[in-house]
Structure formats: structure tokens, C-alpha cells
Structure 1
Amino acid sequence: MAEIINMPRLSDTMEEGVVAAWLKKVGDKIEEGDILAEIETDKATMEFESFQNGTLLYIGVQEGETAPVDQLLCIIGEEGEDVSDLVNGDSASSKDDAAKTETKDSSDSSNDNKKEESSADLPEGVIIVTMPRLSDTMEEGTVASWLKAEGDTVEEGDILAEIETDKATMEFESFNTGTLLKIGIPEGGTAKVDSLLAIIGPAGTDVSGIDTSAPATKKEEKKEEEKKAEKKQEAPKAEAKKEAAPAASNSTSTSTSSSNSNSSGRIFASPLAKKMAEDKGIDLGQVSGSGENGRIVKSDIENFKPSAGGSAAASSFVSVGTETFEEVPNSQMRKTIAKRLGESKFTAPHYYLGLDLDMDNAIASRKAINELPDTKISFNDMVIKAAAMALRLHPKVNTQWTDKNTIIAKHIHVGVAVAVDDGLLVPVLPFADQMSMQQIGGKVRELAGKARNKKLQPAEMQGSTFTISNLGMFGITEFTSIINQPNSAIMSVGAIVQKPVVKDGQIVIGNVMKITLACDHRTVDGATGAAFLQTFKSYIENPIVMYV
């Protein structure tokens, strides 16, 4: 008997999926465990396998198409079996569901006076594109740049915009074909998930009746920024009047230059150009863009030469006794860091345990290991391995607190804090206790590279049971960290320094590393944390035991 296979829910936040590719076609024989298709979720592209045997009789969602969870994906049954009733029956229910979904989306994107408006009021062929949820923790997004302009033709798979989430700046591609009729969120604009992002439809379609206004808060913020900009421009003008004639002349030319660079309002530049300008300390207002519509691109930054009067203008702008500030908008990542760490610090009762470690044996062991062919490990790899093995012997440190239960993780997933330009990311090493030091080192380098290039997938940052933060490479000898919830502990690792120590009754120069363990007192008592550190100390001071 034929069985209907629906679009599966492949993640806890998945509401719809895109069929990236079919690995079977109609008429193919299917065995249990065969991969039917690759399905793109809100987090990753995943393989979807069959739990049935039979023949693939019907495909309901074609490659590149999007369908909500539980919509008919395909039908598997006996060869030659008639499935027209199943197809027609599911199509009817799907249309009802689609109508409900369109009505809800139309209602959410309209104002309070139009909440009862249905999707039938949309012109034929017009599709509302909303702000996507590009990570499991994303609540709002910022449009970093639009790669299409109003009136441009859009093909399925074209990149519409670059959207900044709480974790990374990601490309957002179109799942529809048509003309970009309206942009609902301008570059630099921030909006909640599911807010109207753009409208795509047939060329020439009138969409003036669809409300695309940005939130009032955004408009107010822009007005405030304009007022602040006006005040900043008025201040140097007032100071210029007090200066001598030559200085007044220089100030006037500077003011004129500033006015010209800001006369068009927002400065348009590619994300790469912005990053390069920030790294080189270049003011984008002084750069002439060679891209489309005056957009500043990479080559403009590379070829930029500051004007001769630049330093004079800068020195005359800020006079003695004048206080100035620069307001930098918070990125989505920075907002999330502030929210998460604030919640952790003020809800989890932190306490701290510190320990000095004798690293002489670790230094000698690392030197010997790295002399082996194609082998290279770092002290951080040793720390991760020792912590993972110690967690196996002290499971109460590998826990999570809930109001009803303390959850003890039987697996050991170690999160490693990685500094990036906009803040901090914590990629996760799954089952770290089962990995060798060399495997740990290779995986850490891979994940750290992805983090710095904004290529980390959401799945690679989830599920940690313990976290390690290492600032030793910056020469920091001792520090404390805020627990990365829902973990119960985080280890802070300092630099290895040479200092006088007592060995066998003699004062000698030793290599010492300080570590600090921050614990959540709701789940980890002081004695429990201390026992964990003693075990960790026995491993790191005698690395050979980690190979036994």
C-alpha cells in the first residue's frame, strides 16, 4: 500500500524546508535507509533517508521548492500503484494550509487597522519575502547590504542581500523568480524576524497598497542620529569663528568637504570595503566610490590616498577642552553577548577556584611529541584533553541546572571560546574525551578559522557541556570568565610564565600556568570543583598518563 512521506521536521526550530536535491527519481526502487533527498533547513542542508521499501511513485516538492513541515514530499508504494487519490487529496489540504499561511503573513506585515486583510488582496503573482530566521537564537536581523535594487530581475538562487544576525553576516538567497518590486528594510535597517523584507512579483505590478513601512523606533533612531550629526557639525563651525583668518579658511574647506561627503546621507560601501577601511583607519566619508551608484568597493580602499590637509583638518576639529564621543551601533552578535552573559552573571551564583600548575613536564612532553613526523600539538590541545578526561571522572561538573532537575550529561562536548572581530564565538568539540590531542588540535584550528571567516554553521556552536577560554597567547597570566550557560562551569587558562618555585627544598626557576574555574554553585559545590581541578592537575602535569 502506498505511503505518503511528508516534509520532515529536521530541527527544533524548522517550520519549512527546501529540497536542495533529489537523489532518487520517480520509478526508482527504494530500500530502507536509502537517501531520498537533501533538504535545506533553517540551520543546515541535511540528508533525508527513507524508512520504507518500495518504488518512488510521486514527488510532491521539486528541487529548489519550499514547503512547510508536514506537507506532502513524496509517495512510496508498489510499482504501478495508482496514487492519484492520495495526490489530489493532499493537494486540496495543502491549498487550504497555504491559504491560511498567506493570510497570516499578510496580516502580520500590515498595520493594526489591516489585521483582518487576507492574502487574496495581494496582486496575482506577488510574493512577500520576510526577514528570515538564519540562526536558532536570531530574534532580529540587520540588512548589511542589498545586492539587488528595486526593479532588478531576480532568479531563484540569486543572492538578494547580506543579513547580519546575532552570530554572523550571511547571504540570503531568493527562492522565487520575478522582479524586485519593493525593498521593505533599507541597508542598515534592523527588523524582527518575519517582518516584511521585500516584495517580488511580475514586473510593473503595483504594490503601493502593501504597507512596507519600517518600525517607528527605527525612524526615531534615524532622526536622533541626524540631530546628533547636526550638533557635531555646528560645534566645529563655532570654534572656527574664534580662530585667525588662515585657520578659518582651513576650517571652512574642511567643513565643505565633510558636507559633500554626507550630503547624500548614508555612505554605501560593500561589507569587505567597510572591514578594510576599519582595519586601516580610513574614514569612508573621504573615499570616492567607483562602484554602481557611487558604492565604495575593495579597490577604492586599496587605492585611497588621504588628502594633504587631512591631518590639519583632524587637529582643528577637536580643540583643547572639547569632549567628543563616537556612537557605534551595536551589532547583532554584541547584543546577544550582552544578553546571554548578563543573564548568566545575574542568575547563576558564580564562585571561582584557582590553581597554579607546574608545566615543566608538559613543555618537555610537547617538545618530544612535536618532533614526530606530521605531528603538532599546542598547550591548549593538552588543556582540552585533560579537562575532557577529568570531566569523565567528575560528571557533576558536566551538568545543567533547571528549576526541576539537574541534568547530568553522559557525553562530553567541550566549547572553545574564539575571539572574532565583532565579539566572541564558542565552537564545540563533540565527544572531546574520545579524541587524541592531535585530532583536537586539527579540529580547533578548523573551527577557529571558520569562526573568524564567519563560516561557522549553527550546529557547530551548539550542545557544549563545558567551556574553555584561553588568553595565554596574549600574555594574560590570570583572569575569570562568565559561565557559558547552560554549562555549569568554565575554565580560564593563563599564560605560562617563568617564576621562582620551591622544588625539593630548593628555590629554582619553574614554568607555571594559572587556571581559574568558574562554577555555578547551584550544581557544583566547592569540594566537587576542587576535586575536578586536582584530577585536571594530575593529567596536565604528567601528560604521559593521558596516553594510557
Structure 2
Amino acid sequence: MPIELKMPALSPTMEEGTLAKWLVKEGDSVASGDILAEIETDKATMEFEAVDEGTIAKILIPEGSDGVKVGEVIALIAAEGEDASAAASAPEKKKEKEEEKPTPSPSLKEGGEQDGKSDAPAQSSPSSQGGDRGVGAAVKADAPKSNEDRVKASPLARRLAEQKGIDLSGITGSGPGGRIVKADLDGGAAARPAQPERAAGDAPKPAAATPSQPVETDIPHEAVKLSNMRKTIARRLTESKQQIPHIYLTVDIQLDALLKLRSQLNASLEARGVKLSVNDMLIKALAVALIEVPECNVSFAGDQLLKFGRADISVAVSIPNGLITPIITGADTKSLSAIATEMKDLAGRAKEGKLQPNEYQGGTASISNMGMFGIKAFDAVINPPQAMIMAIGAGEKRPYVIDESLQIATVMSATGSFDHRAIDGADGAKLMQAFKRLVESPLGMIA
């Protein structure tokens, strides 16, 4: 029997993916560890390795196919010594045999019985049937009536309702005796399906979300198919804004001391080929602040609150297909040079779609920096199941009070978005205060 090659689950949450590219073709010999295909998940494009040895007998799912379910057979491998052509035709032969099997009647059982009863005609007696009613009458009496038979409606109304797919049982008729007439079907209410009655005191159920309808427009345009990543971003951010009560807290932070320290550190790290960015230092500052204010290093989990013992910072990175958040694990304990080196590697592989699931799934909080685009301030959307995200604006020269005198300083605005189910406003304010202090006195984060 051929070996079935199934769509792999390349991440814990993956339910389907896109078979982006086959790296083998029918007739190729493969060994364990060979790269067979590239699979596009909701976050990255990953390589799919062979586990078994053999010959690619048949490719069942062509490259470029979207929505391939996890566990679906995508190809067949003929084992060593097995005829590849025979292996390729095995599924068709199996299907033909199944179709050739006679299908027994579901109502007939062994011995000619029907549903456990004899197929002999039933005998009626006056005492059991009530007078001269026969079997036919008894069967007719037991037959259930359809909703249409119980509803009083004119023949024209019934015909129109059938054409429009309208359930007459949910319409109140305006004709004689409550009879439904054509006029009752012309109103807007008739076009809506009937809703089940609700018992007194029952809370109304929220309306189910409906998929977006295609937009009809005469404006010249191009319809671009959404990638798996863009679909996931749309779904998760919609859920975040609908389900998480966001609270936003903003502080202005002086950057001059941090910029001076960065310049000094880069001069000393130049020989090692390491260059710190401002964002590397802000990652460290957020991580240390989360450890100082553990009430914000949490995650809301239904009837539980998860309190984390380390700060894993998810860093928003823009890539061609959307956005991904590689994680600096344990950023509170790592040196600035280690964070810079790791971030450079993660960002590079993120843009190539080569991150592993464990490198972008998880994290205890996020940071998103749009300062390089000149954005002064913004409110970021929380990345569930995390409970906070720090939005960083551009550093710019502003009038700023220093030592009770108005001076010109480099100042940036930082806005924290907090899940108010898990984090109180006062605790969020403490985190923003700690973050501001660490950035303005940066030696505190590396001491």
C-alpha cells in the first residue's frame, strides 16, 4: 500500500494552509529529511520535510492550492520495492470497489423484516382500530403534518413564499381569520426568516457575524486575494477590538539621556559588529518595567488571571504580507547587545517568512514602534491573549521643562494599551511611570 503524505500541522493553532510550492515531482525518489514542499501558514512560509523513504507516486494537491485542511492527503509515496504507477492508481481502484458494492436498503433487515417488524400485512381488529377503520386509515392518522399544512394561507401566498424561500409559519396573516395573503409577503418583515420564540427572561443572543459582501463599483480597481496572514490579522484584530475593553495611557518621555548612552555603547560595541537601535533599548526598558510592575505582566484567561514570571516581548515587524511579532524571550534578563543581535536575526528571517512557530507565538506583552515613519503618537490594538501593548511615537525636538526651565529636548510620546479586564488603570499608570523613568535614566535598565 502507498504511504499517504498528509497536510501537516506546522503550528498548534493551524487548521488549514496553502500548499505554496512543490519541491519534488512525481517519480522523484525521496529520503527522510528531504524538503518536499513549502507550506504557507497564517504567519510564515515553512518547509515540509519527508519522514519516509520512497518514490513520489502521485501528487494529489497542486501547488498554489488554498484552504488545504490539516490531515488531508496531499500526495502518495510508493515504498521501496512498490510499483509507483500501481501505488498511484490504488486510491482510484479502492474508490471503484466501494462504488461497486451493493447498497442495502436502510429499511430492510435480515429475514425480510422492516425496522424489526414483519413484512406481513398488519391485521386490524374492531377493538384496536375503533370500528371499521383499516390499516390505511391508521397510517394516515399518524402521518405528521407539515408546517405549510398547518398555516392558513392563500394559494398565491404559498406559491410566492416557496419562490422567495419564506417560512410562512413566522408570518402573521392580515386576511380573514388570520389567513396569510400576498400583501403580507410584500413587507420587509416577510423577507426575514422566522425567529424562534424566546421564553420570558431569556437574554437575546447576539447576531452572528456575516462575511463581508463583494463590493460592486465602477471605479477602476484590482481585486487582490487575501493571504492567510492577512485573513488571520483581520480576524484576530476584529476579535480584539470587539472583545477586549481597551484603556489607553500616554506619557511624554525625554530621550536625550538614552540617545547619549546609545552612542557610547555603540562606540564600545563596534569591534564586535553590534549596533544598538533605540528600539532595542525600548524593548529592554519595557521588559524591566513589566518585572517592576508585575500586575501588568499578565493575561486574562476567562475565570483566571495568568501572572508571568518573566517578560517575553513581542516586537511588531512589518513584512510584505502584513505584520508579524517575533519574540525576545526573557528580555528583562538579556543584555542590550544580546537583544540587538537576536532582534536583527528575527527581523531578517521574519521578512523572509522563515520564522518557526515558537519564535512568534506567545509573548507576555508587545511593543510597536512607528517613530521611523514620523508618527507622533498612536493607539495600538492589543494582541490577544496578551493584556498590553506599548505604542512608540517619533522622537522630535520639542519645548520641554527641565530643572524648572523651558528648554528644547528630544521627546517622544508612548501610549500603552491595556486590557481593562486584567489591568486596572492605576496599575497601567504605574507601568507607564516605570517605563518613562527607565528611558529617561537608562543606566537603571542595565545596572
Partner amino acid, structure 1, of 2:265: I
Q: Deviations over 1:15-71 (max 9, x none)?
A: xxxxxxxxxxxxxxxxxxxxxxxxxxxxxxxxxxxxxxxxxxxxxxxxxxxxxxxxx
Q: Report if the CA contact (8 A) 2:5-2:74 is conserved.
A: yes
Q: Which residue of 2 aligns with 1:74?
A: none
In the aligned structure 2, how far is the partner of 1:135 from the partner of 1:344?
Answer: 21
Q: Any residues of structure 2 matched to 1:429-508 within 5 Å, and which? A: 429-504=328-403, 506-508=405-407
Aligned length: 316
Q: How does 1:174-323 map to 2 (within 5 A)?
A: 174-190=50-66, 191-201=68-78, 202-205=83-86, 206-207=89-90, 208-209=92-93, 323=219
Could you tell me which of 329, 342, 366 is aligned with 2:225?
A: 329
Deviations 1:323-344 (A, max 9, x none): 2322222222222222222222
In the TM superposition, residue 351 of structure 1 has moved relative to its aligned partner by 1.3
Q: CA deviation at 1:179?
A: 3.3
Partners of 2:95 and 2:331 in 1: how far apart? 51
Q: Distance in 2 between matches of 1:176 and 1:531?
A: 55
Is 1:406–1:523's contact at 8 Å kept on the other side of the alignment?
yes
Counterpart of 2:413 in structure 1: which amino acid? Answer: K
2:258 is matched by which residue type in structure 1? A
Aligned pair 1:536/2:435, yes or no?
yes
Counterparts of residues 114-133 of structure 1 (less than 5 Å): 125-133=1-9
Query: Would the alpha carbon gap of residues 196 and 438 (structure 1) be closer, same or farther in structure 2, given more than 3 Å must change?
Result: same
Q: For residues 453 and 471 of structure 1, do their structure 2 counterparts lie closer, same or farther at Cα, with a shift above 3 Å needed? A: same
* 1:209 positional shift: 3.2
Q: Is the 8 A contact 1:447 1:456 kept in 2?
A: yes
Mapped to 2, the partners of 1:513 and 1:195 lie a distance apart of 51
Taking the aligned partners of 2:269 and 2:357, their CA distance within structure 1 comes to 35
Match of 2:11 in 1: 135
- Describe the SS at the equivalent of 1:514: strand
For 1:210 and 1:186, the matched residues in 2 are separated by: 22
Q: Partners in 2 of 1:523 and 1:425 — Cα distance? A: 24
Kindly provide the amino acid, as one letter, of the partner of residue 84 in structure 2: A
Secondary structure, in 3 states, of the residue corresponding to 1:479? Answer: coil
1:159 is aligned to 35
Distance 1:179 1:453 in 2: 30
Tell me how far apart the structure 2 counterparts of residues 141 and 170 of structure 1 sit (CA, whole Å). Answer: 11
Q: Is the 8 A contact 2:297 2:364 kept in 1?
A: yes
| 1:338 correspondence with 2:338 | no
Name stretches of at least 5 consecutive residues in structure 1 with no aligned partner.
Answer: 1-124, 213-320
The Cα shift of 1:167 comes to 1.7
Determine whether 1:357 maps to 2:253.
yes
Instruction: Give me the whole-angstrom Cα distance separating, in 1, the residues matched to 2:19 and 2:65.
Output: 6
- Residue 369 of structure 1 and its aligned partner are, at CA, apart by 2.3
TM-aligned CA deviation for residue 210 of structure 1: 5.4
Q: TM-score, normalised by structure 1?
A: 0.55
Contact 1:137 1:166 in 2 (8 A): no
Partner letter of residue 185 of structure 1? I
CA deviation map 1:146-166 (0-9, x unaligned): 223334444444332222111
1:118-173 Cα distance to aligned partner (Å, 9 max, x none): xxxxxxx3122111111222111111122233344444443322221112112223
The structure showing larger relative contact order (alpha-carbon pairs under 8 Å, at least 6 residues apart) is: 2
Partner residue, 1:172:
48
Tell me what 1:411 maps to.
310
Rounded to whole Å, the distance in 2 between the matches of 1:211 and 1:132 is 24
Contact 2:45 2:354 in 1 (8 A): no
d(CA) in 2 for partners of 1:397, 1:373: 33
* Distance in 2 separating the partners of 1:156 and 1:436: 39
Which consecutive residues of structure 2, in runs of 5 or more, have no partner in the other structure?
97-216
Identity of aligned residues (%): 45
In the other structure, the counterpart of 1:107 is none
Q: Kindly indicate whether the alpha-carbon contact (under 8 Å) linking 1:362 and 1:541 is maintained by their aligned counterparts in 2.
A: yes
Letter in 2 for 1:521: H
Deviation string for 1:448-498 (max 9, x for gaps)? 122122221222223311111111122222111111111110001111111
Determine the structure 2 residue equivalent to 1:426.
325
Distance 1:133 1:148 in 2: 20
Q: In 2, are the aligned partners of 1:386 and 1:536 still within 8 Å (CA)?
A: yes
Pair 505,173 (structure 1): closer, same or farther in 2 beyond 3 Å = closer
CA distance in 2: counterparts of 1:462 and 1:143, whole angstroms:
22
Instruction: Kindly indicate whether the alpha-carbon contact (under 8 Å) linking 2:390 and 2:414 is maintained by their aligned counterparts in 1.
Output: yes
Q: Which residue of 2 aligns with 1:388?
A: 287
- C-alpha separation in 2, matches of 1:196 and 1:143: 12
Q: Which one of the candidate residues 246, 263, 281 is aligned to 1:367? A: 263
Match of 2:104 in 1: none
CA spacing shift, 1:509–1:185, aligned 2, 3 Å: same
After superposing on structure 2, the runs of 4+ consecutive aligned residues of structure 1 that deviate more than 4 Å are none
The offset of 1:511, in angstroms, is: 0.7
Aligned to 2:148: none
Q: Residue 518 of structure 1: SS of its match in structure 2? A: strand
State the 1:211 CA deviation.
6.2
Q: Distance in 1 between matches of 2:50 and 2:10?
A: 14
SS of 1:401's equivalent in the other structure is strand
CA-to-partner distance for each residue in 1:363-401, whole Å, 9 max, x for gaps? 222222222243632211221111111111211100011
Q: Distance in 2 between matches of 1:366 and 1:152?
A: 54
Rounded to whole Å, the distance in 2 between the matches of 1:393 and 1:454 is 34
- Which amino acid in the other structure matches residue 397 of structure 2? Q
State the secondary structure of the residue aligned to 1:432.
coil
C-alpha RMSD over aligned residues:
2.1
Q: Which amino acid aligns with 1:161?
A: A
**What is the CA-CA distance between 1:512 and the residue it aligns to?**
0.8
